[in-house]
Amino acid sequence: MKKALIIGISGQDGSYLASFLLKKDYQVIGTSRDASVSTFSNLNKLGIREQVQVVSATMNDFRSVFQVLKKTQPDEIYNLAGQSSVSLSFEQPVETFTSISIAVLNLLETIRLLELPVRLFNASSSECFGNTNGQAATETTLFQPRSPYAVAKAAAFWQVANYREAYNIFAGSGLLFNHESPLRPEHFVTQKIVKSACKIHAGSKEKLKLGNIAVQRDWGWAPEYIEAMWLMLQQDVPEDYVIATGKTTSLQDFIAAVFSSLKLNWQDHVEHNPALIRPTDIEIFLANPTKAKEKLGWQTKYFMADVARMMVEAEQLCKC
Among 76, 127, 180, 315, the one annotated catalytic = 127
Closest to 84 (Cα-Cα) out of 13, 172, 141, 132 = 13
262: left (phi over 0), alpha (psi -120 to 50) or beta: alpha
Among 15, 125, 126, 196, the one annotated catalytic = 125
Known catalytic residue: 127?
yes
Among 26, 149, 225, 241, the one annotated catalytic = 149
Known catalytic residue: 149?
yes
Known catalytic residue: 87?
no
Catalytic residues: 125, 127, 149
